[in-house]
Chain A
Amino acid sequence: MNPEFEHLYQALSKVDGFIYPNEIELSWSILIVLYPFITGLVAGAFILASLERVFNVKSLKPTYVIALLTSFAFLLVATMPLIFHLGQPLRAWEIMMTPHLTSAMAIFGFVYLWYLMIVLLLEIWFDYRYDLVLWARESKGIKKWMYKALALGSDDISPKSLKLDDKLGYIVTVIGIPSAFLLHGYVGFIFGSIKANPWWSTVMMPIIFLFSAMVSGIALVMVLYIVINHLRKQKIDMLCLDTIAKYLFYIIIIDFTMESLDQIHRIYEAEESFEIISLLISGHLNFTLLIMQVGLGMFLPLATLGIIQFYKPEEKLRKLIYFITGILVLIGIFFMRWNVVIGGQLFSKSFLGFTSFKLSLIGPEGFLMASIWLVVPFFILAFLLWLFPPWKKTPVEH
């Protein structure tokens, strides 16, 4: 048999009920799951950084720079899954050159650029400028020139200019908070605005995406802070870790409430799509939604972090609990994105049937490709931590 037909027969054998011919295969696969996941980590990590800078949560100071660099490392990769999903990476720049104002994706290009160039790069630059000048003076060879170029050749570290840097950095962070909200709220909007799909089309989507982004970003920085200090054999600032965990706990509660509200709304409204969505949740998304997203990714961390707010075990155990909880939260949020992206394509627009999805190991949309884009930001972060070590920063009195 023609291999093309064989593939079709295989896909057809997994179809339940009635679906339209173009719904047999999913057009958005794991790379599109990664896009909101990685963007969420960016926004979440930045918001954690801004807690220290703008909201003056001083105990979070040890993670301020790590959070900023994490946000930057992940932002650099955020669009890569999209570009590789397109299959025409060399055409990607056209979205910027001839943007269509009615295209939600084209506008994302500018939201992304605004966040990268105006918010993150500027904030990191203002924060590091003093150290860049000092490192340029101390270093030798290529590193010296690199630091000098990054400091834009300026050697000015007078108290007056440092004060101005601090002020401008603060303003950038203040602008950065709504920008981070905009960045990830916008990703939610891209899904929420697809009115043809009842699983996506809800005005709550940007808000849910935003809070889940904060949850994942904070969890990531918490895990990274533990890992970095473990690798550097340094003592962890437990007050800082406890504070991150406390904020993580609060934001998970808000995220949980928002997602529950959305579901209650759906259940009470019980629109014509309700039946197929209930079947979707109890059937195809049974494992990824009920067990991975809600059970492991939300209830378990909520319970653990909740207990720790009242009863604090000894440091070593607490660190281990925070580490495991952070990983669970990240897995949970990954599956939240999975359930939105993949779940939304599993049921037919006729509301009468389902198709199925099997993740392949290799290929342009396979597990390995996705793993690459999930691992690359950690290498970028390692490079950034080597080039701009936060632990070698000279403290400046703000």
Chain B
Amino acid sequence: MPLHLKRLLLTGIVIISLFLLLKHALTPESFGQYGHYRGNSMNEIAALPIHFVGNNSCVSCHDTIVSMKSEGYHSDLSCEGCHGAGYKHVGDPKMEQLIKPDSREFCAKCHDINLARPEKAVTQKELKEHHSDQKCVKCHNPHQP
């Protein structure tokens, strides 16, 4: 075999070996442990701090509001859906205050007219016309709208 072909073959072998070495070095150790992903990611995700605490955590302090909400149209909604993740607030209720959204844009996320949203499931209003100069919460109590 001529020299240049030997060197070509050698170059090919070097490139393939380099690729295999790279593949070995760059594939995470736990890859494929459970499926086509990094096995360790399961434990890493499980070890992350919990951000949402659930409605039951709210009842212990805000029982009147929770019971009011349970009788209204928003009974199915999670408290943290509007007020944000509550894990910090539960840990330190005085220092860590939750958000109280009261803008028209916030209500519009669900209640503005959207053809793709079933009218029967969510009340929808033309927000540009429906008392456009006032905040929704002035007339509607969000916990019992």
Contacts and interface: CB of A to CB of B under 8 A. Distances in A.
B17 to A, nearest CB: 14
A20 interface: yes
Interface stretch (A54-62, A147-155, A194-202): A147-155
A156 B108 contact: no
A20 B114 CA distance: 10
A1 B23 CA distance: 49
B110 to A, nearest CB: 12
A151 B4 CA distance: 8
B22 A97 contact: yes
A158 B5 CA distance: 13
Nearest to B128: A9
B27 A156 contact: no
Contacts of B81: none
Interface in B21-42: 22-23, 26-27, 31, 36
B8 A152 contact: yes
Interface in A112-164: 117, 125, 129, 151-154, 156, 158, 160-161, 164
Contact of A5 (B7, B105, B117): B105
Contacts of A158: 2
B4 A154 contact: yes
Contacts of A154: 2-4, 7
Given A1-B105, A5-B108, A20-B116, A97 B5 contact: no
Given A21-B114, A153-B7, A161 B105 contact: no
A93 B23 CA distance: 10
A156 B114 contact: no
Contacts of A20: 116
Chain A, interface residues (CB within 8 Å), range: 20 to 34
B15 interface: yes
Chain B, interface residues (CB within 8 Å), range: 20 to 34
Nearest to A161: B2
Contacts of B36: 98, 100
Contacts of B117: 21
Nearest to A168: B5
B2 A152 contact: no
A169 to B, nearest CB: 12
B95 interface: no
A152 B12 CA distance: 12
A156 B22 contact: no
A156 B116 contact: no
Given A97-B22, A98-B27, A98-B31, A152 B7 contact: yes
Interface string B81-120: 0000000000000000000000001001000001111000
Given A20-B116, A98-B27, A98-B31, A129 B4 contact: yes
Contacts of A19: 115-116
A244 B27 CA distance: 47
Contacts of A367: none
Contacts of B23: 96-97
A18 interface: yes
B11 interface: yes
A18 B15 CA distance: 53
Contacts of A88: none
A19 B47 CA distance: 40
Contacts of B115: 15, 18-19
A161 B4 CA distance: 9
A2 interface: yes
B79 to A, nearest CB: 22
Interface string A229-247: 0000000000000000000
A125 B9 CA distance: 13
A105 to B, nearest CB: 14
A2 B106 CA distance: 10
B117 to A, nearest CB: 8
Nearest to B11: A152
Contacts of A12: 114
Nearest to A2: B105
Contacts of A97: 22-23, 26-27
Given A2-B105, A100-B36, 8 more contacts: A12-B114, A15-B115, A19-B116, A20-B116, A96-B19, A96-B23, A98-B31, A152-B7
Which 3 pairs show the lowest CB-CB distances between chains A and B? Answer: A154-B4, A152-B7, A161-B2
5 contacts: A1-B105, A18-B116, A20-B116, A96-B23, A154-B7
Interface of B: 2-5, 7-8, 11, 15, 19, 22-23, 26-27, 31, 36, 105, 108, 114-117
